[in-house]
Chains A and B, each alone.
Chain A
């Protein structure tokens, strides 16, 4: 299958252009620094006699903040990997010699998507599992499902990557990348606004915001990351008083994504990827 050939080429490019090495070094630095931070916080809290349950809640919230930073890094990485994937190769003439071969345009788009998805998913798994392992080692707190948290982070990156790839079939790389990053920001803000509206009992606003969260389904996946990182004890404490601003904020979740939502995300990915294939197939080079 020629899509796998293109996927392999895409991963090879990331390796030879030292992108993967840059990500690995960056991750090690971030994990090292955050580990140091966690160590300081936990030592200082224990010295002051903070209760263990409160400490767990505090560490989990810090971990979610670190996950948000990783989510942002992954979003930027996904946008700037996806946006030039087709556009830059078309502009430079690299794709001209390839499309003249007996290869379907769909194989080129699918291959790029597979290769880039493997990169962001691999990165999110490696960095997520490493970070949670280090935190568990330093603080003694292990989140309920670090693998799921890392997978949700990776899925967010794949969602954004897929949008960026669609833009890449028509827009210059800079424009596509900028639009993808803006979509990430808007999606996150929409999620926050929906939470606030729910907490304030503004049902109409909340349902409108909820609907817009489905346009680019990043927020639902982000809540999956949070839910997989929160301790059950914290859930009991935080959810005890019913939904309010504190429980519905951007760094709290009362439950993971429903299977129907995950199915929706899979269909959404297939549709956007299909649009990217359609768009590139109709593009003259």
Chain B
């Protein structure tokens, strides 16, 4: 949630952003803040208002109420859009253009300097693995290749902020891995990434900060580490007479046969926990030192927001 931060450090911010289509409320007082240079995961189930939020942030749709800024300018500011890359969720490029033509068109639309144009196009093609298909027409591309091209268009000219709306939806596992590598590269370069996704594993792997949105409002937000809560150790064990009392010193014990989960047990205490089980006569078959997954947290939060 918004807190005091230097304004120049903010890539985008919204305050009580609301968007209604007739009786349908797509955004219901959406408030969030994304700092420059971070990879921000915008998570939510289908129909939660994620794409509407991106469109309002880019000025493609007018908010019904509320306000916001994008790269220091009010939402809808045309000059700010020159510093933004956008991969829409549902898009198509002109089938009769080559990949290089499409990138050239967007380079001109973005107002890239003429002397950088060729280099920027080559860089984008290379980044998304289409360097050898640049002169082929888009109409001959598979869906995955079109998505790669869309990603290339979004990265063109090294924008300060990149919106990626479901960037891996048409990609195979290798393509997804490539996208993760691209996002990591963007982070290293200091580019802010706004990743709109319902693929939790994706977000868990690449994001620094996450906002979970449902019914057009943020139900939880913060650094991924904080959002996922306490570490949890899961054990498969036999021969323990009283697991609860044996394991209680290490955290909250939840029995879920054949597993026993110990919530709140930090990783550095796992050897002690194993020793205590063995000392109490327990036979250990498996130990899984992890934490609540984003999926578990997501379902828990959305369940809470429904009730």
**Is A2 an interface residue when CB atoms closer than 8 A count as contact?**
yes
CB contacts (< 8 Å) of B108 on chain A: these are 2, 5
Contact A285 B109, CB 8 Å, known A17-B96, A93-B90, A104-B78: no
- Given the complex of chains A and B, what is the CA–CA distance between A17 and B97 in angstroms? 10
- Given the complex of chains A and B, what is the CA–CA distance between A186 and B106 in angstroms? 42
Shortest B76–chain A CB gap in Å is 11
Within 8 A of A (CB), among B77-101: 78-79, 81-82, 84, 86, 88, 90-94, 96-97
**Is A16 an interface residue when CB atoms closer than 8 A count as contact?**
yes
CB within 8 A of A97: which of B55, B78, B91?
A: B91
Do B60 and A285 touch across chains, with their CB atoms under 8 A apart? yes
A16's nearest neighbour on chain B, judged by CB, is B96
B80's nearest neighbour on chain A, judged by CB, is A102
One digit per residue, 1 when the CB lies within 8 angstroms of any chain A CB and 0 when it does not, for chain B 236-252 equals 00000000000000000
CB within 8 A of A101: which of B55, B92, B110?
A: B110
CB within 8 A of B91: which of A9, A93, A104, A284?
A: A93
**Is A73 an interface residue when CB atoms closer than 8 A count as contact?**
no
Do B110 and A285 touch across chains, with their CB atoms under 8 A apart? no
Do B88 and A100 touch across chains, with their CB atoms under 8 A apart? yes
**Is A13 an interface residue when CB atoms closer than 8 A count as contact?**
yes
**Is A99 an interface residue when CB atoms closer than 8 A count as contact?**
yes
**Is A69 an interface residue when CB atoms closer than 8 A count as contact?**
no
- Given the complex of chains A and B, what is the CA–CA distance between A93 and B84 in angstroms? 18
Do B90 and A96 touch across chains, with their CB atoms under 8 A apart? yes
**Is B153 an interface residue when CB atoms closer than 8 A count as contact?**
yes
Within 8 A of B (CB), among A217-270: none
Contact A92 B92, CB 8 Å, known A100-B84, A100-B86, A102-B81: yes
A13's nearest neighbour on chain B, judged by CB, is B96
**Is B62 an interface residue when CB atoms closer than 8 A count as contact?**
yes
Do B55 and A285 touch across chains, with their CB atoms under 8 A apart? yes
**Is B111 an interface residue when CB atoms closer than 8 A count as contact?**
yes
CB contacts (< 8 Å) of B110 on chain A: these are 101-102
**Is B218 an interface residue when CB atoms closer than 8 A count as contact?**
no
CB contacts (< 8 Å) of B86 on chain A: these are 97, 100
**Is B61 an interface residue when CB atoms closer than 8 A count as contact?**
yes
CB contacts (< 8 Å) of B96 on chain A: these are 13, 16-17
- Given the complex of chains A and B, what is the CA–CA distance between A59 and B37 in angstroms? 75
One digit per residue, 1 when the CB lies within 8 angstroms of any chain B CB and 0 when it does not, for chain A 94-133 equals 1011111111100000000000000000000000000000
Do A5 and B91 touch across chains, with their CB atoms under 8 A apart? no
Shortest A112–chain B CB gap in Å is 13
**Is B105 an interface residue when CB atoms closer than 8 A count as contact?**
yes
Do A284 and B90 touch across chains, with their CB atoms under 8 A apart? no
B82's nearest neighbour on chain A, judged by CB, is A102
Shortest A184–chain B CB gap in Å is 28
Contact A94 B106, CB 8 Å, known A102-B82, A284-B62, A285-B55: no
- SS class of chain A's interface: helix, strand, loop or mixed? helix
Do A101 and B81 touch across chains, with their CB atoms under 8 A apart? yes
**Is B58 an interface residue when CB atoms closer than 8 A count as contact?**
yes
Shortest B223–chain A CB gap in Å is 29
CB contacts (< 8 Å) of A99 on chain B: these are 60
**Is B150 an interface residue when CB atoms closer than 8 A count as contact?**
yes
Contact A102 B78, CB 8 Å, known A17-B96, A97-B88: yes
CB contacts (< 8 Å) of B106 on chain A: these are 97, 101
One digit per residue, 1 when the CB lies within 8 angstroms of any chain A CB and 0 when it does not, for chain B 107-137 equals 0111100000000000000000000000000
Shortest A18–chain B CB gap in Å is 9
Within 8 A of B (CB), among A68-98: 92-94, 96-98
CB contacts (< 8 Å) of B92 on chain A: these are 92-94
Contact A101 B109, CB 8 Å, known A16-B96, A284-B55, A285-B60: yes
A5's nearest neighbour on chain B, judged by CB, is B108
- Given the complex of chains A and B, what is the CA–CA distance between A103 and B82 in angstroms? 9
Do A100 and B58 touch across chains, with their CB atoms under 8 A apart? yes
- Given the complex of chains A and B, what is the CA–CA distance between A2 and B107 in angstroms? 12
- Given the complex of chains A and B, what is the CA–CA distance between A58 and B11 in angstroms? 74
Shortest A153–chain B CB gap in Å is 28
B137's nearest neighbour on chain A, judged by CB, is A16
CB within 8 A of B109: which of A16, A17, A92, A98?
A: A98
Contact A96 B88, CB 8 Å, known A5-B105, A285-B61: yes
Do B81 and A13 touch across chains, with their CB atoms under 8 A apart? no
- Given the complex of chains A and B, what is the CA–CA distance between A101 and B109 in angstroms? 6
CB contacts (< 8 Å) of B78 on chain A: these are 102-104
Shortest A1–chain B CB gap in Å is 11
Do B61 and A97 touch across chains, with their CB atoms under 8 A apart? no
B residues bordering A, Cβ < 8 Å? 55, 58, 60-62, 78-79, 81-82, 84, 86, 88, 90-94, 96-97, 105-106, 108-111, 150, 153
Question: Would you give 7 A-B contacts (Cβ < 8 Å), ordered by A?
Answer: A2-B109, A94-B91, A94-B94, A96-B60, A100-B86, A100-B88, A284-B55
Apart from A96-B88, A97-B88, A102-B78, what are 7 other A-B pairs with CB-CB below 8 Å? A16-B96, A94-B92, A97-B93, A100-B60, A100-B84, A101-B82, A284-B62
Give 5 nearest A-B pairs by CB, closest first: A101-B109, A16-B96, A93-B91, A102-B82, A284-B61
